[in-house]
Amino acid sequence: MDKIVVLDFGSQYSHLICRRIREFSVYAELVPYDISLEDLKKHNPKGIIFSGGPSSVYDPEAPIPEEEIFNLNLPLLGICYGHQLIVNKFGGKVKRANKEYGSSLLTIDNDKDLLNGVGESVRAWMSHGDEAEVIPPGFEVIGHTKSAKAAAIASKERSVFGIQFHPEVVHTEQGTEILRNFVLKVCDAKQDWTMEGFIESEVEKISKIDGNVLCGVSGGIDSTVAALLIHKAIGDRLKCVFVNNGLLRLNEEKEIDEMFKNNFKVNFTTVDASETFLNKLKGVEDPEKKRKIVGEEFISVFTKFAEKNGPFKWLAQGTLYPDVIESGVSKGPAAVIKSHHNVGGLPDWLNLEILEPLKELYKDEVREIAKILEVPEKLFMRHPFPGPGLAVRIIGEVTPKKLQISKLASKIVEEELIEANLYGDVWQAYAAVGDDKAVGVVGDERKYGNIVMIRVVDSIDAMTADWTRLPHGLLEKMSNRITNEIEDVTWVTYTISSKPPATIEPQ
């Protein structure tokens, strides 16, 4: 199939470029910026995109691709830092500028090719400290902002384009249309990337592995789809294990056990390790340490199960692209945001090989696969739940009291969203709790109790997210129920930070 290759220069948005391109059924793959010319040619790309990144082209350690890649006679699009690379390479001049971060009005100077159909002007998301001062010979300015006179440039003779803004983020109006123009019109790529094709190729690949597979399932969509794909490929050589770590949503362990036994024809076992997990977390406040502890204990439980019920050669997990990116083990130089229990938390002593059939996919792609595999809608429409569970929704030490508050308050938030017919319209919703307390009045008595934080966000793939503007009356109902029904809660707050700069989970 036709492919667009994205060279990763360290932007946290790099994978979003791939995600946007896949939205219109063209396969896009992220590769390291320093990929060799020989390896790049093996991908046989229809076009190349340079991502953004935190560096300056004048930094001594600035990431620079191989010289010959600029001369492949393939369509090339540079985004932000990639734009500056193109300016610098082809004889222009880049200068230091006042850092521009946020939305700017992009005026279109030439609406052919890359900016065709975008309109006379759009809001574009900027995040840069350098900009093009002099454009290279043979290039023209096709778009500008008030502060960036060469915000979009083109050499139509070479089919080389550079844009200072980020079309891959939702904050850029018509951003997907700009990428669509590059991929479909400039690169002439065929739209032949489908989830049906992915299932077929992944099942064929997995069917060739030897040995038995142990799959940790959480009841979430990712691990469930991973298990069903593997089962489709190897049948009874797969064994699914659900570990109750005590950090689940209210009564979730019972729901998951019933769901698997009633809906899926796979070998399934539940292990109750809740007491062990909670003991390991006693006294631990640092969020990264909590993630590592949960990750290592998961692997410990799986390893012990494998020793008793094996032999197993593989440990399967529902790892997705965003998990890999944020854990800092992606193919590029992006910084670590947080460790994920099934990525950054894997210990050195693990003696099972890892099988991750979904690690190149995004959440909405996994949901599409779930529909194809006829997973019950109730399951694939559930909101995402973090691998470390409530350990990352409880700020500070995980205590029985805070655990109970988080479970009950989150259940109330979900129930009220369902009652308002809004549950399926939002990406994620929960209630978090920390050590902060506030004074309240219960009856005629002054009471010093916990503060609960409600978090509801809209997103497509969890790479970016915006806080949900819920009706005030709905928030009032949630608050009243939480303070009335949960002992020791006096205040309820609503979190209105988007990602970035915040993350979806508090820790």
H-helix or E-strand spanning residue 230: helix 221-234
Q: How far apart are CA 190 and CA 365, in angstroms?
A: 19
- Of the CA atoms within 13 Å of residue 130, those in its CB half-sphere come to 23
Residue that is written with structure tokens 């399926």 in the block? 424
| Numbers of helices and strands, H then E, in the chain | 14, 18
Mark whether 29 is an active-site residue: no
80 is catalytic: yes
Q: Identify whether the C-beta of residue 64 lies closer than 8 Å to the C-beta of residue 95.
A: no
One of 15, 18, 23, 80 is an active-site residue; which one?
Answer: 80
> Which one is catalytic: 166, 231, 340, 383?
166
- Annotated active-site residue 168? The verdict is yes
Give all strands (DSSP E) within 93-151, no chain letters: 93-108, 121-134, 140-144
d(CA 328, CA 295): 16
Residue entry with tokens 């129930």: 415
What is the secondary structure of 344-391 as a DSSP string? Answer: TT--TT--SEEE-TTTT--HHHHHHHHHHTT--HHHHTSPP--TTGGG
Q: Cβ(130)–Cβ(57) under 8 Å?
A: yes
DSSP string, 446-506: EEEEEEEEEEEEEESSSSSEEE----HHHHHHHHHHHHHHSTTEEEEEE----BTTS-SS-
The helix (H) or strand (E) run that includes residue 415 is: helix 400-419
3 state SS of 328: coil
The three state secondary structure string of 138-194 is CCEEEEECCCCCCCEEEECCCCEEEECCCCCCCCCCCHHHHHHHHHHHHCCCCCCCC
Catalytic residue among 131, 168, 360, 365: 168
Q: Which residues are catalytic?
A: 80, 166, 168
